[in-house]
Amino acid sequence: MQADDIIVIGDKIELTLEGNRVYKSKVEDISETGLILVTVPTMWGMYAPLYTGEKLSLGFFRESAWYTSTMEVESFVKQGEAHFVWLLQVTPPHRHQRREAYRLPVRLKVKVREYTDGMEKDLVQSGSGAGHVEIEEANTRDVSIGGLAITTKRFYEPGERYLLEVFLDETPDRTRPFLVCAEVMRAAPTSDNRANSIGLQFKGVTNNGNEVLSKYVLTRQQKLIQQRKL
């Protein structure tokens, strides 16, 4: 499959660089030889650190599915103040399982606490996050069985781990929040550049954590589907 068989001009894309840092960009042009021209994205006013010959992952939606393809930086173009980069497709686009239905757009309170080595085992045994220093309180952008994204003024580096206290809004009878160790997988400014969207992947939960979270996500998913919001 060639790039121009599926990627089209105007597509909003995600470029994942080394270290799992994700940048949002857009397809500006496609050459007759299949090269893809995209805007060089910025973060905090700085252009993404791209280099000729570097390989990265390009992700995009098509027909309710998420596709990724390995790309190689071919060359750079500057037009006035705008910076663009030509990308060469290295691997055909790979279709992933639809993800919108599993990433629920819900706003939940989350307390981010410091992580210590081996916390996953302690968390399973004790089921408590007491005593761990609180870094901040944030709100989720979306939640899934495998992770969540928060909106925050802080910036988190991919690879960092934290203890999260997630307050599920449909469990008022629970005396404790849902506790989980999580690793930062992606960090990027929000669309208005006023905050950061931080994606975290769950790495360890309490004994009944998976059951509690799975039930919550599936219940909310069914309600949103009934409301035709998914």
pLDDT tier for residue 110 given thresholds of 50, 70 and 90? very high
- CA 15, chain centre distance (Å): 11
Confidence check: pLDDT of 212 > 60: yes
Q: What is the DSSP string of 146-180?
A: SEEEEEESS---TT-EEEEEEE-TT-TT-SS-EEE
Distance separating alpha carbons of residues 216 and 148, to the nearest angstrom: 13
116-166 pLDDT, tens digit each: 887 766 665 555 555 678 899 999 988 887 789 999 999 898 889 999 988
Adjacent-strand bridge partners of 16: 22, 57
pTM: 0.54
Chain mean pLDDT for the chain: 79
Lowest mean per-residue pLDDT among 59-63, 99-103, 186-190, 217-221 = 99-103
Query: What's the confidence (pLDDT) of residue 179?
Result: 83
Summarised one tens digit per residue, pLDDT across range 1-47 is 343 457 889 988 888 876 557 788 999 999 988 899 999 988 767 88
Integer Cα distance of 207 and 120 in angstroms: 11
Domains within the chain, CATH numbers bracketed: 3-96 (2.40.10.220), 109-226 (2.40.10.220)
Distance CA 32, CA 117 (A): 52
